[in-house]
Structure 1
């Protein structure tokens, strides 16, 4: 079926966030990978294998932050076995010394306050490096651009991604059976009627807050995120989800624009100090749904945008 297929995958890591977004449609294929940790090894089960199970793929953008040396070795293999067009690293991060970075077409060490904004194959990307003393933190937003959503109908499924239901990181241009199979045969949360009642737009944006110390950057982030708040469907946090780094009001306000829709919060299960965050999310109402990734399972969010005139 001719459509814009997308997959947001949060791998089964109990510490850190290993995330990909992949889209495939008439404008071609797009793949972004983001790896963020607290400096300790990512805890993962064997069925994840090497990051993303990618080989000979084209990775449009790769983001790296605060990874353990053993995990950086895996990143080195990722760079050697795939075509990576662009790498983003916050200032002061040890990843900038990775020898295999020479394999990437472009490497950017982002300075404090530096922002990258671009559009790839109908997908919007916004990245900012926040000042955090000797090492910066990356914040990422991504989602389909308005022209990709205009005149479209949409189906999206949210489900656990574990050993019994392994999810590939990238959507295959030639074979869409993975996404279609999930929509037909597996138990999941189905997001069908999530178009805005008045403007007809779809809510598909993802925000990765990573390790950001939000309490010290709250005013700055509130201003930066204004253009994206109405499109937030998925919010991911690593250390930023710890109680001492974020206020309840900030998290509550992130969901205020989309109270009619389910909104998903992804947190690593073994990050200390996120108990208060879980309470804040749940107090937001039944449409605020937390997922704790673990060695047992991650989260896969997949679906497609299809022109209404062709349905």
Structure 2
């Protein structure tokens, strides 16, 4: 059985990694740098939890200490949450240990002494099948797995570490990102250049309201038309959706946008052009004028409630 370890500074993502690790089989351990994450993953009943207790307030400071624990424990597979901090930690620790690292991995499997994964390349145009020999590192995006359920809690091993706190957080101010994080939205109504101005935006908002959905857009709508903040554009360099429903209105469906909706369970496209690329990517395609179709769809949803 493989010796699998997980790490994330985010407790929810850490629990998702536990699910992925358990699916691979073998013994599962976790490294945490906060008490919250340590207790969170310990509640899932994995084999071992090591809490690195130090003075440093940022994840990147613990690279050497994480590498030492993984080496001591004989880790064969290490799954790291693909957050900005997680990616930095994975890169440093894998370099310190002289191991292979694959980023944004999905469909993980173990074959012999290798970790096999799939990942999107060329802006989502292709899927690469890759294998990394043990010990192997992989970063895993959020919402790729369900969080592991709580069970019989595991005892947490606390390891005091002398990590220099050379950076001090003076204050934390939240940026105004124009609403919720679309990465976490279950339903999204998105629109592109085929939707006209403020009036079109109002039509999208009306449909989103009856669906209990959030509103997103393509990159030109945010960066050129400026109808929505840039935090709401969907695509390979924007938000990656993983919810149950996406309705794309007036979007052409270029590969950069489709890459952001490929993990949505159901995709509906509304477009006046039956040959638009989005139509081929959709589970359901409606050809026609959104000014007629979207209000009619909103009325039908209201009537069905």
TM-score normalized by the length of structure 1: 0.30
In proportion to residue count, which structure has more strand?
Answer: 1
Larger C-alpha radius of gyration, 1 or 2?
Answer: 2
Instruction: Please state which structure has a larger fraction of its residues in helix.
Output: 2
